[in-house]
Structure 1
Amino acid sequence: GPPDPASPGTVHAPRPGPHGTAHDGGASGVRGNAGLVSILIPADDPLPLETTLLSALAQTHAHCEIIVGDSSLNGACLALLKPHLKAHRRLRYAPAPGLSPLANLNHCLALALGAYIAVAPAGDTLAPDKIAVMLPYFLDHPQVSLVACWRQPRAPDGQALPVAPLFANEIAVGGGSLADLLLNGDSSAAAAVCAPGALLYKRAGIGPAFGHYHDRPYLDRADVATALAALAGGDYVYLPRPLSSYRAAPATPPTPLAQLEAGIEALELLFQARTHGHRFEPPERFRQLLSARLAELNTFVVTHYVQLAADAAHRVDALQRTMRVGYQLLLTA
């Protein structure tokens, strides 16, 4: 589950100062790209894109740029964008034929000029004041590294689903406490805490690309890796207001190969966190987490070996290497 609001790593959310944003929606006292927010929209289909695009263009925070990465093979999104490109100088089109969703997102990031980054997956609807509400938490509180809002799930017909936000009130969670949660291996908790569509990032905190943690790329745990990199010891502010919404898609069970990759990446994140000085509290917590992750991965492999032999033979070396490092760390005093 989410961090306990009563734990030492959790404090009340800092409130933005009274002058966090100017009347035109721009950050007060901020010039040039310092207060610019880049809204990245990776897309491959114009149908879900339109709602997202219109809600991004309707942001009351005026100092935004919007970059649409089109990974369709035939530039299918361009026809939708053409009239808007003529009307809005802050809108940019970035063809990215054939790129995966993560690669398309990073293509957009490479073009971004803003000091702050918001991700709007195609199909999401942004509240008009989303950026205007979230940005002042950065501008007025330097210790804040990530700002999250509630991303309201909706049924296919657009009706809001009866799901509550993670927390009932605004809170700030210490970066160390949140990192412990993300390293715990609970993918459902991690998905709720660090879905890119719910977050506002500092560009400098993301690092070279989305999905990187200490220069190592991750695929299955890309969102977790990005959040860990962005936290960098700072606070995570959570706002329970539904500043974004999305159409919830039916859950599809992961393949055994995907589950294997997830298990390997969960261990790699744990190794990297320890190597780069993350403080586990109490110190024995690292070996407890490591023991649990090794046991889970070992049990998964011996349970699904028939399917893995057919689909994941090319990952045997990576699996052996990861398990060997894990057992060395576990059994070294």
Structure 2
Amino acid sequence: MVADDAAPLLVSAVRGYLDHLTVERGLAANTLTSYRRDLRRYLEFLVARGRTSLGEVGEGDVTDFLRGLREGDDTHPPLGLNSAGRAVVAVRGLHRFARKEGITTGDPASEVRPPSPPRRLPKAMSLDAVESLLDAVGAADDPRALRDRALLELLYGTGARISEAIGLDVDDVGRLGGAETADTVGDAPDADVTVVRFRGKGGKERLVPIGRFARAAIDAYLVRARPILAASGRGAPALFLNARGGRLTRQGAWAVLRAAAERAGLSEVSPHTLRHSFATHLLDGGADVRVVQELLGHASVTTTQVYTLVTVDRLREVYAASHPRANAAR
């Protein structure tokens, strides 16, 4: 801690805040130790700037302190994202406490936010991995295997959320225009468009076309498997049924995907991985981002644009591996 006689008002304010956290908030010992270390560094920073009390601190001081945490200096190495974020929380708490206690009249840290974590790009599977997953569902003559294949083909072929897929009824799959339902899906010529009616977040409906692979898998399931599964139930309208004839649950759908991934030797595969793969493969194939937005049911194109970052990364990889002068490019 800074020497008491160097900045007594600053030291007193910090001690009062730490006492408050110890007695009234009951923070854990490890947390208090971290806060004490963070605030010691903050006081050193303020004293170096000539500040003698918290009332002299401005928002620029707090912002510069945060920047210094991330960049480091001659005596302190750069802090990671989590450690810097914790230090900012400690500083914000100190200034909030000082204002409430009447030590200061304002709060210069109120608008300073902890550093945001880097945006994690969604993970997409390669086409070979998707095909391995789809081929790993089990024996083709088993009713549950036919259901599982139809479910996975639908998830990848439409980019549906798992909740949307298990919420489908038989009548939600049909020919464009709604004249025919999924019972005749396999008889439709290739020129016809088969669509799925999804109910997304907030009850918003959207129609998504499905390709011939998903259409064939759903047709095989409806004709050869669903009647067998339905015989054990009470006539549920759900498209995907469990072994008891009821609607397949979210947990059941997760189990289907997990089992197929294990058989295919794939790790870190989730229903959202298939959704990410659907979007990324469409964009890689030249689809417009606003079309992908509609297919995914995103309210804003901003949400969809994260997939364009994945595609740019992929283009960069291909360029670096393929162009004869790529390694020399700057």
Higher helix content, 1 or 2: 2
Q: TM-score, normalised by structure 2?
A: 0.23
Structure number, greater radius of gyration: 2
